[in-house]
Structures are given as C-alpha cells and as structure tokens.
C-alpha cells in the first residue's frame, strides 16, 4: 500500500507556505519537495495542512498557488502551522483584467465516441430513466408510492430502462406566483422533464399549489416521451391528487400509466455518439486541502481534453469561486461574459449580507479539518476543475446550456442544489471530487467520484471511482486526468459508477429556492 512520502510540497515558487503530504511532527526536519532544503518543524501539523516557509509578519499576505489565500492575523514564525488560528481574510484586491489572457482554442483531438442513446429530437443521453416529477412537496409521497408500486420483476423485462426516479422536493408553494422563485423552480422541473436521460415522465401535483402543473407545461411546452410510439398520445402528462380523488386513487392510476410508459421508454438502443455531445458538470464536495492539488487539477486536465473534443464542461458553486474569480475573468472570451461572472459574485455578497452572514463563512467544519483555511484557498483549488481553456459563457441557475467549451453556471455551494441546477441545464455526466469522502449520486445522471487522497480512497473504496491521491505518490496530474477522461467515456457508455451500484441518487434532487418562504 503506497503512502505519501515524508516531505512538504511548495506549489508555486512565490508561496510562503508549504503543504504537508503526511503528518509531520514537531522537531522534525522535513525536505520540501525534491529540494535539498529542509524545514525545521515547530509544531505537529496534520496531513494536508500548511507550514510557514519563512517568517510572515502580522497583516502580511499568505501565498499558496502563487495567490493570496489570506493574511497573517499575528506574527507567524518559519516552521509554524498556518491555519484558522493565525490567518484572516483581510482585504483582497483583485485585478479582473477582463479578457487579458484568453487562451487559444485547443487543437482538435482525434474524434472519440461513447455508446449513448440518441433521442428523436437529436439530443444525446447517457442513461434512460422514467421519472415522476412532483410540482410540490404535497405530492412527494404519492410520487414515491408510485415508484415503489412498480414490481421489480416488471422492470427487469425492460433492459434499456435504468429505473424509475421520483423527483421530489420540499418546496413548490409559499412563494410569489410567477415570481423569481416560481420561475426558477419551473425552469428546474422543466429541465429534468426535457432532459435526454429521461425517456418518459409523469407530472404529479396536488392541485392548489403555487407551482401549478399547468404553468409548467404551458411555459415550457412540455410534451410526453421522446421515443416512437402511438400509445403516448393517449397517456396523461399531469395528474393532480385533488382531481383524481386522493392519494390512493392517484397512485393506483399512475402505476397503470407507468406500466404503459415502460415499454415505450424501452424502445431505444445505445449507439456511437461523438464525445463532443457530452455536457459534464464538475462539482467538489467534502473538500480538503488536497482537492486543489490532486483531484481538481486532474479534472481540469480532463476538462481541457473534453473541450478539445468539442464538448461542454461546467464550473458552478459561485460562492466557491469567490476570491479566485480574477483568474476566470482573464480567460473570458468577451467583457460581457466576465462582467456577468462578477455581477453574480456581487449578488452573492449582497445575498449573504441580507441574512447577516458573509461568503467567508464557507469553508465548512470538514473542509477546515482537511486543511482548508479560507474561502480564497478553497476557491483557488476549486476552479482548477475548469482546466485552462477560455471561459465561453455564464448561465443562470438551471438555464439550458447551449454553448460548448468551458462555462460557469451560477449555483450555490450546497452540492445537491448545485448539481440539480447543472443537470437541469443539460449535464449528462457529473464528475464529483472529494477529500473528506462525500457519498453522492444524482439520478438520472451518473456521478463519477474522484478521491483527492489515498487514505480516504482506501477507507471508502466502495464509494470512490478514481483515486487522484496517486498524484501525491508520484503519478502525474496529466496521467490521472486521462484516467478521468476515460472513465467519463466509459460511464457515458453505460458502465455503472460506485454510487449507481449502491442505488444512490433518489434523494439528491434539490431545486434551489433563494427567496423567502411566505
């Protein structure tokens, strides 16, 4: 079993801190990277945490990745532990330099394909689910009962159907009709109804909710099933519990409808589809300090390769771009793209202030235990998932994604809400990096989980698909990035992820509601 070597790594020559690749003890003299220089360690520091490479006076910047991650809140001596007890955010002055370093388009790669489902409207799917879409929490239980009411032996007959997923949530009422939250929820629900990974669906409502099924179907021109079959024309798109005569009657009739939908949804077969038609959602959750050193940069390599194939890769979690946005605005193809990203950053600052908090309340408890100190440090590591290509567009939450290349979608940092928005926008694969060990899936889209360190990967191997911790043992970032790309293509072609094998993904549908509950 390989373990990280006993040394420190300095990520950039400008850095005044180094990262411990395993626990280092007080009094030890530890080499830094491959250099002959050794650092005298003044206090025990855990795996992934930082030590000062030089004396850092109070109020002076702390540099990691060659960027400011905070300021010394007291004098820090060379060899001391650098963390939340002696680092504060201070005032960060960023030069956005819109479009000043837009990368050239990557050279096209030899075309590759995956085995996906081609829908009648031309879109590419990586899975084939039947969905029950609840307009409101009041119909959530009925949706679950319907899914549970389909005999598993019946599902086994339909080998091209991956399952039935009840898309249930806790909202749908107590907000302004046709207001911001109503439209955003409708956009999210419609994004799932229209998603290529949904072969057929039934909308279940209560009847009196603000989030009316009629609003959803009318505003988004929803139609039933995107596969051949005359039977679909006679099946209902919407059922409201109040109109059907209660939960039991609704469930009974909906089960009958699903039994008619299943053979129609099954009438698809996998076929070769260009990798250019993949839309990959990149997410990080349960991050540690190694996430920005191993897993996220490796995903960035895969992102660059996907863009070179003509595919789309998505960054999200806007509060976790905060403090690193200047690196993306430089890569924005137009000033309008850069300005939209900054506008969303400012929106989040104002949004947090309304509730008496600040964006720097992030990182989480687990992030800090894993060595992350400030939101700046977390964000600088997080955006590494976006690789090095040009930023093509910035999208609103759950907005349909039409641009190829690297894009940003405005989402919260909360993983279920963030991924829900990206899937609603059209993502057909999720790549999820984690350092602490997040257990995540998101039906109807498969989630590939990438571990940032080997000890966690070995503890949670049944949940992790790839071990990027190998980079700390000597593997290159490029090598692991290619492994991630190959895994993306394999999973898009039907290979099960670890979360799919465990049936995870029914509880992660989480539409973001940013306004008040009335």
Where is the domain boundary, 270, 302, 329?
Answer: 270
For Cα atoms 29, 34, 36, give the angle at the middle one, nearest 5 degrees.
50
Residue-wise pLDDT for 395-451, tens only, equals 999 999 999 999 999 999 999 999 999 999 999 999 999 999 999 999 999 999 999
Helices vs. strands in the chain: H and E counts, helices first:
15, 23
Q: What was the pLDDT predicted at 512?
A: 97
Which pair of tokens denotes residue 53?
């490479």
% helix, strand, coil for the chain, step of 5 = 35, 20, 45
Q: What was the pLDDT predicted at 452?
A: 97
Residue-wise pLDDT for 127-172, tens only, equals 999 999 999 999 999 999 999 999 999 999 999 999 999 999 999 9
Looking at the structure, do residues 75 and 170 belong to the same domain, yes or no? Answer: no
- Whether 105 maps to a domain, the answer reads no
- Whether 287 maps to a domain, the answer reads yes
- Whether 103 maps to a domain, the answer reads no
- Whether 99 maps to a domain, the answer reads no
Looking at the structure, do residues 254 and 283 belong to the same domain, yes or no? Answer: no
CB atoms under 10 Å from CB of 26, counted, come to 12
Looking at the structure, do residues 386 and 463 belong to the same domain, yes or no? Answer: yes
The pTM of this model reads 0.95
Residue-wise pLDDT for 229-268, tens only, equals 555 555 678 999 999 999 999 999 999 999 999 999 999 9
Please check the confidence at residue 371 and state whether its pLDDT lies above 60: yes
- Whether 113 maps to a domain, the answer reads no
Where is the domain boundary, 65, 88, 111?
Answer: 88
Q: What was the pLDDT predicted at 221?
A: 86
Residue-wise pLDDT for 167-202, tens only, equals 999 999 999 999 999 999 999 999 999 999 999 999
Q: What was the pLDDT predicted at 48?
A: 94
Looking at the structure, do residues 216 and 306 belong to the same domain, yes or no? Answer: no
- Whether 405 maps to a domain, the answer reads yes
- Whether 359 maps to a domain, the answer reads yes
Please check the confidence at residue 393 and state whether its pLDDT lies above 50: yes
Q: What is the mean pLDDT of residues 324-343?
A: 98
Q: Are 132 and 265 in contact (CB under 8 A)?
A: no
Q: What is the mean pLDDT of residues 85-97?
A: 93
- Whether 417 maps to a domain, the answer reads yes
- Classified as helix, coil or strand, 203 is strand
Q: What was the pLDDT predicted at 1?
A: 39
Q: For the chain, how many structural domains are there in total?
A: 3
Residue-wise pLDDT for 39-77, tens only, equals 899 999 999 999 999 999 999 999 999 999 999 999 999
For the ranges 32-41, 195-204, 275-284, which has the lowest average pLDDT?
A: 32-41
Looking at the structure, do residues 491 and 354 belong to the same domain, yes or no? Answer: yes
Looking at the structure, do residues 288 and 334 belong to the same domain, yes or no? Answer: yes
Residues 350 and 364: their CA atoms lie apart, in Å, by 20
Where is the domain boundary, 48, 70, 88?
Answer: 88
Element at 118 (helix H, strand E): strand 113-118
Residues 17 and 10: their CA atoms lie apart, in Å, by 7
Q: What was the pLDDT predicted at 233?
A: 53
Q: What is the mean pLDDT of residues 480-496?
A: 98
Please check the confidence at residue 365 and state whether its pLDDT lies above 90: no
Looking at the structure, do residues 48 and 68 belong to the same domain, yes or no? Answer: yes
Q: What was the pLDDT predicted at 37?
A: 77
Domain containing 81: what range? 8-88
Looking at the structure, do residues 352 and 491 belong to the same domain, yes or no? Answer: yes
Looking at the structure, do residues 264 and 292 belong to the same domain, yes or no? Answer: no
Using alpha carbons, select from 49, 45, 46 the residue that is nearest to residue 69. 49
Please check the confidence at residue 4 and state whether its pLDDT lies above 50: no
Looking at the structure, do residues 290 and 419 belong to the same domain, yes or no? Answer: yes
Please check the confidence at residue 38 and state whether its pLDDT lies above 60: yes
Cβ contacts of 355 within 8 Å, gap of 6 or more = none
Looking at the structure, do residues 228 and 176 belong to the same domain, yes or no? Answer: yes
Residues 440 and 449: their CA atoms lie apart, in Å, by 8
Q: Are 48 and 453 in contact (CB under 8 A)?
A: yes
Please check the confidence at residue 297 and state whether its pLDDT lies above 90: yes
Band the pLDDT of 2: cuts 50, 70, 90: very low
Percent of residues, the chain, with pLDDT higher than 90: 88
Give the gyration radius of the chain's Cα atoms: 24
Which has more confidence, 2 or 199? 199
Looking at the structure, do residues 262 and 206 belong to the same domain, yes or no? Answer: yes
């Amino acid at each position: 079993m390989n373990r990280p070597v006993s040394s420190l790594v300095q990520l950039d020559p400008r850095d005044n801190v180094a990262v411990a690749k395993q626990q280092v003890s007080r009094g030890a003299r530890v080499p830094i990277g491959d250099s002959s220089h050794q650092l005298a360690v003044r206090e025990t520091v855990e795996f992934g945490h930082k030590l000062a490479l030089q004396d850092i006076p109070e109020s002076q910047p702390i540099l990691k990745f060659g960027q400011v991650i905070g300021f010394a809140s007291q004098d820090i001596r060379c060899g001391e532990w650098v963390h939340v007890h002696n680092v504060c955010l201070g005032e960060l002055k960023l030069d956005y330099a819109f479009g000043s370093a837009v990368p050239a388009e990557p050279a096209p790669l030899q075309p590759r394909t995956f085995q996906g489902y081609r829908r009648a409207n031309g879109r590419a799917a990586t899975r084939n689910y039947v969905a029950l879409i609840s307009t409101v929490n009041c119909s959530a239980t009925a949706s679950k009962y319907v899914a549970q009411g389909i005999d598993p032996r019946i599902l086994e007959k339909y080998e091209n159907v991956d399952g039935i997923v009840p898309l249930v949530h806790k909202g749908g009422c107590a907000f302004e009709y046709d207001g911001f939250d109503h439209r955003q929820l409708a956009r999210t629900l419609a994004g799932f109804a229209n998603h290529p990974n949904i072969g057929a669906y039934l909308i279940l409502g209560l009847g009196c909710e603000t989030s009316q099924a009629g609003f959803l179907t009318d505003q988004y021109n929803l139609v039933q099933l995107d596969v051949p079959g005359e039977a679909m024309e006679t099946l209902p798109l919407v059922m409201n519990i109040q109109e059907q005569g209660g939960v039991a009657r609704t469930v009974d009739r909906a089960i009958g409808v699903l039994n008619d939908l299943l053979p129609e949804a099954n009438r698809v077969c996998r076929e070769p589809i260009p990798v250019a038609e993949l839309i990959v959602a990149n997410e990080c959750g349960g991050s540690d300090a190694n996430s920005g050193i191993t897993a996220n940069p490796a995903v960035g390599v895969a992102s660059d390769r996907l863009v070179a194939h003509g595919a789309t890769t998505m960054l999200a979690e806007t509060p976790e771009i905060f403090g690193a946005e200047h690196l993306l605005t430089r890569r924005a193809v137009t000033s309008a793209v850069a300005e939209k990203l900054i506008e969303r950053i400012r929106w989040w600052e104002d949004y947090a202030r309304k509730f008496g908090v600040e964006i720097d309340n992030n990182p989480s408890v687990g992030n800090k235990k894993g060595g992350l100190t400030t939101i700046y440090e977390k964000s600088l590591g997080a955006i590494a998932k976006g690789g090095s290509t040009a930023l093509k567009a910035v999208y609103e939450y759950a907005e349909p994604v039409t641009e190829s290349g690297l894009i940003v979608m405005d989402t919260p940092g909360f993983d279920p809400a963030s991924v829900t928005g990206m899937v609603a926008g059209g993502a057909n694969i999720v790549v999820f990096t984690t350092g602490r060990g997040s257990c995540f899936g998101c039906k109807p889209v498969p989630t590939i989980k990438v571990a940032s360190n080997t000890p966690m990967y070995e503890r949670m191997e049944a949940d992790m698909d790839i071990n990027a911790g190998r980079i700390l043992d000597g593997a290159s970032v490029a090598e692991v990035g290619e492994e991630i790309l190959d895994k993306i293509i394999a999973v898009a072609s039907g290979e099960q992820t670890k979360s799919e094998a465990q049936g995870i993904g029914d509880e992660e549908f989480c539409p973001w509601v940013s306004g008040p509950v009335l």
